[in-house]
Amino acid sequence: MKRLIAGLGLLTALAVLPASAQEWPARQPIKVIVTLSPGSATDVLARIAFEQVSKQIGQAIVIENRPGAGQRIGTTAAARADADGYTLLVNSSTHTLFSAMFANLNFDVTRDFVALAPLASIPTVMVTPPSRGWPTLAAFVAQAKAKPGAINYGSGGIGNSTHLAAERVRMAAGFEGAHVPFAGAPEAINEVVAGRVDFYFSPVPPALSLIREGQLKPLAVTSARRSSVLPDVPTTVEAGFPNSGYEFWVGAFAPAKTPRPIVDRLARELSAALLVPAVREKYAALGADPMPMGAQEFDDYVRKEIELNVAIVRAVGIKPE
């Protein structure tokens, strides 16, 4: 009798789930909207992870790149999608910058999305021209303080994560500098190589070969842990500057009203996929480090990152558009 009652209870619970939840994932291919162009670090990490998830659940998963408007086009499309588990979002940590940078949005990150899992942390490394001769971050800061305003620093654009990483370290270290925003990361990194810009906080992947070739000098990374591909480069905190950390990551999200059983299943499948040796090897080759978190932990982390970015933007004096 107890088993019969339990079975009836399970059937009742299933009956109240939306039809889409009962059918998922067999009804149609799952679409993953990526907010950046094909070939970007965010795109590549998404393709690697969801190719493995596809194998695990036996379901077709299609990547749809929707770049533009500072990653708002793809994010808006995902926010407006049906919350049935067939449309997901992969975004970089820019996901936590929207509230700080834009006054009028068509979506609300905390209201319209639920976190699934971080795919990886991509450490941001402070690179300088080798000709400057700065051996450490402390030596750089000492010179920057000795000549206030003489230092300049590049970014991939005002309010970009590379900009806020620089501002976070600049404020923690207490030096002044002139910000030089560029149209994108390639332009910024090229100007450092040319010696026209004193430093730039670059995601590790595009800077790695230039560092290994001696065209860039790395001083520190802003991540909580050292980069696996730059093990000899200290974190900014290890270099002696508390409250200077700034994480750059890539994560997966679903529309907020997606049924919880689907959210939990996706979170489990992603976590399992990221532990597969072949996936870990591909990520490691890109300089992407593990960022193990459960769905709720990641959701809480995103909310804290939003608060941090709002505080940085206000401290720097950036006016939301």
Q: Give which of 122, 120, 114 is closest to 49, Cα–Cα.
A: 120
In the chain, how long is the greatest CA-to-CA distance? 82
Range 217-231 average pLDDT: 94
The answer to whether residue 22 scores a pLDDT higher than 80 is: no
pLDDT given at position 214: 97
Q: Which of 11-25, 154-168, 237-251 is the most confident on average?
A: 237-251
Going along the chain from its start, the domains and CATH numbers come out as 28-122+248-316 (3.40.190.150), 124-221 (3.40.190.10)
d(Cα 59, Cα 139) in Å, to the nearest integer? 53
The answer to whether residue 252 scores a pLDDT higher than 50 is: yes
Range 213-232 average pLDDT: 95
d(Cα 12, Cα 29) in Å, to the nearest integer? 28
pLDDT given at position 254: 98
Q: What percent of the chain has pLDDT over 70?
A: 93
Q: What percent of the chain has pLDDT over 90?
A: 75
Range 13-39 average pLDDT: 72
pLDDT category at 23 given cuts 50, 70, 90 is: low
d(Cα 215, Cα 210) in Å, to the nearest integer? 5
The answer to whether residue 60 scores a pLDDT higher than 50 is: yes
Range 13-37 average pLDDT: 71
DSSP E strands in the chain: the ranges are 30-34, 61-65, 87-92, 113-121, 124-128, 152-155, 178-181, 199-203, 217-221, 249-255
Range 222-250 average pLDDT: 94
pLDDT given at position 3: 47
Contact between 162 and 155 (Cβ < 8 Å): yes
The model's pTM = 0.83
Range 120-146 average pLDDT: 96
Range 28-40 average pLDDT: 91
